[in-house]
């Protein structure tokens, strides 16, 4: 399974050809983590047309499975965040949650943010 990072979801929703092609090529093997969906709704609420933005996110969420958290994921989140803080390289909690879901479940992460996600040992990244 491939988890979509928020920036990849945005590229897909904006119709970016490269992201749409990768998305189509992996149809049936793609999911959105709950945190990325929350970030998309946040962006929609802050957009120039919140009603339209919410409608787009709603439609996107209907075509993809949403991967939720678990106690194991949250425990991994705590471990990963502690490592990042100890190393002096903290990042946003949303990215740590997405990485933790992928690491616990053996999923890949499709992202354009290699700088953040490359900090997680063993995380299988795809650049979309």
Picking from 41, 100, 44, the residue whose alpha carbon sits closest to that of residue 67 is 100
Q: Global pTM?
A: 0.92
pLDDT at residue number 98? 97
H or E element: which one contains 94?
A: helix 93-105
Q: How many domains does the chain have?
A: 1
Q: Quote the domain boundaries for residue 110.
A: 2-127
pLDDT band at 28 (very low <50, low <70, confident <90, very high): very high
Angstrom distances, CA of residue 112 to CA of 59, 116, 118: 22, 10, 11
pLDDT at residue number 82? 98
CA 53/CA 36 separation, integer angstroms: 15
pLDDT band at 54 (very low <50, low <70, confident <90, very high): very high
Q: Which residues contact 121 (CB under 8 A, 6 or more apart)?
A: none
pLDDT tens, position by position, 56-113: 999 999 999 999 999 999 999 999 999 999 999 999 999 999 999 999 999 999 999 9
Report the CATH number that the domain containing residue 76 is assigned in CATH.
Answer: 3.40.50.1010
Q: Name the DSSP class of 88.
A: T
């Amino acid at each position: 399974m491939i988890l979509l990072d928020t920036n990849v979801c945005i590229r897909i929703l904006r119709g970016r050809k490269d992201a749409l092609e990768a998305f189509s090529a992996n149809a049936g093997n793609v999911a959105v983590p709950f945190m990325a969906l929350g970030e998309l709704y946040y962006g929609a609420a802050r957009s120039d047309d919140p009603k339209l933005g919410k409608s787009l996110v709603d439609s996107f969420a209907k075509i993809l499975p949403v991967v939720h958290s678990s106690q194991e994921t949250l425990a991994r989140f705590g471990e990963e965040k502690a490592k990042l803080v100890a190393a002096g390289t903290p990042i946003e909690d949303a990215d740590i949650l997405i990485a933790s879901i992928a690491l616990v479940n053996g999923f890949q992460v499709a992202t354009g943010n290699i700088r953040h996600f490359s900090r997680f040992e063993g995380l299988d990244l795809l650049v979309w």
